[in-house]
Chains A and B, each alone.
Chain A
Amino acid sequence: MTDQTYVQLLDLACGAFLLTGVLVLWRRDLAAIVRLFAAQGAALAAIVIVLGVRQAATELVIVGLALGGLRAGLLPYLIRRALPERGGPDAEGRETRPVVNVASSLVAAAVLALVAYAVAQPLIRLAPSPAAHALPVALTVLLVGFFVLVTRRRALSQVVGFLLIDNAITATAFLTTNGVPLVVELGVSLDVLFAVLVLSVLTNRMRAAFGGTDLDELRELRD
């Protein structure tokens, strides 16, 4: 792979990673949010595979493929199973009224992107490589994920926010170091998988017990 194609492919994958992360803020439909999350998983896998092919490291390519399988396939499947069926209670499949409205949260995302760019500059200066230059992208997604986590009301969109943070952390790890050891990555992935399993069971129990997953309503005391 020549230098130019490498940089172009890496930048393209990072751009897709960023775009899907930001679009999660824009959509209200939970099913669409899960689809975006799956697309982001694929973009993350693409980043890792491009890095692996560049360094001619088979292990990294395998890690990338496994990441793609987990984050673009298994996790979205698990979350989708926890989604309410179509034709159920009307407001349940949508993020109807987030704490911060959508237009403001998009503007907030713009500010978060600028913050991430400012924060990443000293880190990039340590080792200016094309991969390190993409670091602000991962940090932006990290902040956006955190924003989703604190401003959304439905349990499932909060789970997606948590997973966005996790995707961003993985991306940061791969972009700053030249590949994370297989064992570490396996441990992290297994952790996330179990977290999602537990959270999806919890969501289903919540819906069975309270008829909805609006977390704000859980603050009220009931008999």
Chain B
Amino acid sequence: MIAAILQVVLVVAGAPLLVGLMRQVRARLEGRAGAGVLQPWRDLRKLLRKEPIAPRGTGWVFRLAPLLLAASALVVTAVVPLVTTASPLDGVADLFAVTALLALGSVALALGALDTGTAFGGMGASREVTVLALVEPTILLAVFALSVRVGSTNLGAIVNSTLDDPLAVISPASVLAAVALAVVIIAETGRIPVDNPSTHLELTMIHEAMVLEYSGPDLALIEWASAIRLSVLLGLLGSLFAPWGIAGADAGPVALLVAVVALAVKVGVLGALLAAGEVFMAKLRLFRIPELLAGSFLMALLAVGASFFLA
């Protein structure tokens, strides 16, 4: 219980820091000084103090969307094995629930964007749903490939079995699943080469087009939830393929401390790698994105095949 609370607090407080770290890495690699790791928190504080403004003609869907996005992100944070494999919600939440919760947040935001009735909102929602339709089955298939070995779709059980038998990570099924999952995480969190988080160019933006009409505390909530989703997905990638340091069911304070440090290091390294990769990559044309995602879907499918037939 303490471990689960610790996990939620850590992710909630650390997610903006991860975004700050990634921006700082990018800035340094591009030869700029950068705004510092704490900048996203300062931005959030600034946004929270502002007055909430809703465009004329928007209804409850628009106002509910940020809350739903943030709430679903928080529930996912409590469920996914990041610091501990023994979350109190473990029994009710498996792979399908996590994927559905992630999809719920995305759909809520897309509906909120549609509710504004502007051209950009509709365009962004349409693009987001296109990406979503290809991303969700791939996440399911990739983790499914890992769950075949364990015989359970419970994420905690999968991580536990990898902890028991670390060499099982070096199998074709998990290598293919790792690549597929990495690609869809990049797509789901809207990073280069699928989406550029720092652009406001109407031809290319996906996520930004949906949140254009939000301001003040609502925008802060959305930015914060997006950061949480990014860190949870990166943490999940780390937990599934490099679960070292995760605390078990009845771990002492030392083990919990180790788990927290391990999580911070893993997510930090993955985020820094992602940011460094973004510097060297250009954004894909929108019409090439289904190609990339079809490729990752194929890899996930091959991973499932390999876990069935090579075993």
Residues of A at the B interface (CB closer than 8 Å) are 4, 8, 11-12, 14-16, 18-19, 22, 26, 101-103, 106-107, 109-110, 113-114, 117, 120, 133-134, 136-137
* Chain B residues bordering chain A, tally (CB within 8 A): 22
Q: Is the interface of B mostly helix, strand, loop or mixed?
A: helix
Is B280 among interface residues, defined by CB-CB distance under 8 A? no
B309 touches A107 (CB 8 A): no
Chain B 155-173 per-residue mask, 1 if CB under 8 angstroms from chain A, else 0: 0000000000001001111
Q: For A15, A22, A120, A134, which residue has the most chain B Cβ atoms within 10 angstroms?
A: A15
A18 touches B298 (CB 8 A): no
Q: Give the residue of B175, B290, B297, B301 whose beta carbon is less than 8 angstroms from that of A15.
A: B175
Is B310 among interface residues, defined by CB-CB distance under 8 A? yes
Q: How many angstroms between the C-alpha atoms of A137 and B173 in the bound complex?
A: 12
Q: How far is the CB of A147 from chain B (nearest CB, A)?
A: 13
A-B contact count (CB 8 A): 70
Residues of chain A contacted by B173 (CB below 8 angstroms): 15
B170 touches A107 (CB 8 A): no
B294 touches A15 (CB 8 A): no
Q: How far is the CB of B146 from chain A (nearest CB, A)?
A: 14
Residues of chain A contacted by B311 (CB below 8 angstroms): 133
B305 touches A8 (CB 8 A): no
Is B139 among interface residues, defined by CB-CB distance under 8 A? no
B306 touches A26 (CB 8 A): no
Q: Give the residue of B171, B176, B299, B308 whose beta carbon is less than 8 angstroms from that of A8.
A: B171
Chain A residue at minimum C-beta to C-beta distance from B172 = A15
Q: How many angstroms between the C-alpha atoms of A106 and B175 in the bound complex?
A: 19
B298 touches A109 (CB 8 A): yes
Supposing A113-B302, A136-B305 touch, asked if A14 and B310 sit within 8 A by C-beta, the answer is: yes
Some 6 contacts from A to B, beta carbons below 8 A apart, are A15-B173, A16-B172, A19-B176, A101-B291, A103-B291, A113-B301
